[in-house]
Structure 1
Amino acid sequence: MRKIYFICFLFILNNVFAQKKDKLNPIAVYEKVWQERSSDARLKLIKTIWLEDSTFEDPSASIKGAVALNNVINEFYKKNPDAILTSGSKVVKDNYVSWDWKILDSKNKLIMAGRDFARLNGKGQVSKIIGFWDQEVTPSETEILKNLESDNYKVVAKYYESLFKTRDFNTMATTIEEGAIYNQAEGLPYGGTYVGFNEWTKMFTKSAEFFDLEIEKEPVYFSDATKNEVIIYFTIKCKAKKSGKTLSMPISEHFDLKNGKITAIRPFYFDTKQFAEFLKSKK
């Protein structure tokens, strides 16, 4: 009887490992994508795991589709032709995979490091990847100056200052286009899609019922005038009102702009599920 139980246990264990391996296959291909230097060969690889509505978001880019991802990687190698990518062990939970990575130059000097979160669709393809950079990594001085001179940067900086520093909603309203859309993750207690500044203020008020917030690390701005978009990357420190617990959480926010006003905001939390559980937990 013990032998039968042992055989059953091995069968279950092998099945678990097989499932994990299956989920890691698209991530293994994704890492090969980043290591491939040929643009044409890389695009073919991307299309095996990437859908036209699959998205990639990090502090320097926010894109959708296979061709756009290939372009991001092409631009990366233009700036870092001798880059070598390495990655750590993978953590798998449901259809989510996360892992740490590093980029070194040919002399083994660290260029940058970070952590990626991938959402899989259960069919061997990637639905979304959100990349967070280590907080020690900062853009070059040239990039910083370029961002600071951008008109879009000034609008987003004004919005950020009004929301997180002065709490001046009248000034904030001047940065928002009529009918602008704010998408909060559905898993949050104040999640949903909010249209128009009046709805935004209701969302801000509702979120304040769950936590007190302070800025732990000021934002880094990445702007692209040709696409009328700005991405900011910063860290918040929250105190949950239900439990009294505190939590630090990096956030990447993507802004769309038109005619000098914000038309859409999409925030991405380092770990949305952890943040939602933190807000809902009790003492």
Structure 2
Amino acid sequence: MLNGLFAQKKDKLYPVTVYEKVWQEKNSDTRLKMIKSIWLEDSTFEDPSASIKGTVAFNNVINEFYKKNPDAVLTSGAKIVKDNYVTWEWKILDSKNNLVMAGRDFARLNGKGQVSKIISFWDKGATLSEADILKNLEADNLKVVAKYYESLFKTRDFDALSALIADGAVYNQATGLPYGGTYIGFSEWTKMFTKSTEFFDLQIEKEPVYFSDASKNEVIIYFTISCKSKKSGKTMSVPISEHFDLKDGKITAVRPFYYDTKTFAEFLKSKK
């Protein structure tokens, strides 16, 4: 099996293909050999349950996963590629084909057939559809989302922002956050944005990477903010994936995924 995997090294998605097979392999020794073909000792893996570096540590994460979920079956959707970044949706089913967990992974590749970093977002309540392979970048949608990002996070120009939002657009903010909930219409969005500023100040730590799925009229951005809690004065680095639905050049829905929403909510509520 390994010989077949090595033959794929010329394929840019080779390390992601092996990464998925790594998660499907239940024999620890066999899996470790596979990991070493795409993983370096300074490669990292992060999800809400782990933050590790190196081959053995990554193998141990998967060992622990199968101790808790011995009958798990992992599947994944189509890949969206931008430069050396790859993102895809995944889901975990039990032996009765019931959904256990779902989410989205972001991989940074080094261009040499190896993974530099994986960050995994969880969405335990999701039921994911299998996406088609990306055919074309939706240039107009990317421009709309880029303008949204600039207006919200850089210029704070709410007039420009409102022009990008469709009537009745829905913003689904994680319910565990102090400003969480479902907000319909831009006037309600502005109330949510204003309420969020009561809890933290933010700076952009890493500018976004943009992905587009033309077949679904969807744009995804992945970026990192540095937050300073107004209650405790502490700071926290928070990777975020935001999913945008668009129609006729306007945003109809936004759904953000915070890396470890529970920890972020506790951070915002904590006092000195």
If the TM-score is normalised by the length of the shorter chain, which range does it land in?
0.5 to 0.7
- Compute the displacement of 1:116 (Å): 2.8
1:25 to 2:70 alignment: yes
- Name the structure 2 match of 1:39: none
- Compute the displacement of 1:176 (Å): 0.2
- Name the structure 2 match of 1:169: 158
Q: Hey, what's the Cα distance between the residues in 1 that align with 2:153 and 2:240?
A: 14
Q: Is the 8 A contact 2:211 2:220 kept in 1?
A: yes
SS for the counterpart of 1:198 is helix
- Compute the displacement of 1:224 (Å): 1.4
Residues 24-173 of structure 1 mapped to structure 2, 5 A cutoff? 24-25=69-70, 28-30=72-74, 33=75, 48=95, 51=98, 55-58=102-105, 109-118=113-122, 127-128=125-126, 147=137, 150-173=139-162
- Residue 56 of structure 1 aligns to which amino acid in structure 2? G
- Compute the displacement of 1:239 (Å): 0.3
- Residue 165 of structure 2 aligns to which amino acid in structure 1? I
Equivalent residue in structure 1 for 2:224, among 214, 221, 235: 235
1:244 to 2:248 alignment: no
SS for the counterpart of 2:225 is strand
Q: Hey, what's the Cα distance between the residues in 1 that align with 2:123 and 2:256?
A: 16
RMSD: 3.3
CA-to-aligned-CA distance 1:49-85 (integer Å, 9 cap, x gap): 65579643345xxxxxxxxxxxxxxxxxxxxxxxxxx
Q: Hey, what's the Cα distance between the residues in 1 that align with 2:172 and 2:218?
A: 16
Q: Residues 53 and 274 (structure 1 numbering): CA distance in 2 closer, same or farther, change over 3 Å? A: closer
Q: Is the 8 A contact 2:179 2:192 kept in 1?
A: yes
- Name the structure 2 match of 1:272: 261
- Compute the displacement of 1:21 (Å): 6.3
1:197 to 2:183 alignment: no
- Compute the displacement of 1:225 (Å): 1.7
- Compute the displacement of 1:191 (Å): 0.3
Q: Residues 161 and 52 (structure 1 numbering): CA distance in 2 closer, same or farther, change over 3 Å? A: same
Q: Hey, what's the Cα distance between the residues in 2 that align with 1:260 and 1:249?
A: 29
Q: Is the 8 A contact 1:102 1:110 kept in 2?
A: no
Structure number having the greater helix percentage: 1
- Residue 277 of structure 1 aligns to which amino acid in structure 2? E
SS for the counterpart of 1:226 is helix
SS for the counterpart of 2:70 is helix
- Residue 174 of structure 1 aligns to which amino acid in structure 2? A
SS for the counterpart of 1:159 is helix
Q: Hey, what's the Cα distance between the residues in 1 that align with 2:121 and 2:96?
A: 15
- Compute the displacement of 1:119 (Å): 5.9
- Residue 255 of structure 1 aligns to which amino acid in structure 2? F
**What stretches of structure 1 of length at least 5 have no aligned partner?**
1-19, 35-44, 60-100, 121-126, 131-142
Percent identity between the aligned chains? 61
Q: Is the 8 A contact 2:171 2:254 kept in 1?
A: yes
Q: Hey, what's the Cα distance between the residues in 1 that align with 2:97 and 2:108?
A: 22
Q: Residues 156 and 104 (structure 1 numbering): CA distance in 2 closer, same or farther, change over 3 Å? A: closer
Flag the structure with larger Rg: 1
**What stretches of structure 2 of length at least 5 have no aligned partner?**
1-64, 77-91, 129-133
CA-to-aligned-CA distance 1:95-135 (integer Å, 9 cap, x gap): xxxxxx99899xx8414531335466xxxxxx4599xxxxx
Q: Hey, what's the Cα distance between the residues in 1 that align with 2:261 and 2:94?
A: 27
TM-score for both structures, normalised by structure 2:
0.60
Q: Is the 8 A contact 1:118 1:128 kept in 2?
A: no
Q: Is the 8 A contact 2:205 2:225 kept in 1?
A: yes
TM-score for both structures, normalised by structure 1:
0.58
- Name the structure 2 match of 1:220: 209
Q: Residues 52 and 150 (structure 1 numbering): CA distance in 2 closer, same or farther, change over 3 Å? A: farther
- Residue 171 of structure 1 aligns to which amino acid in structure 2? A
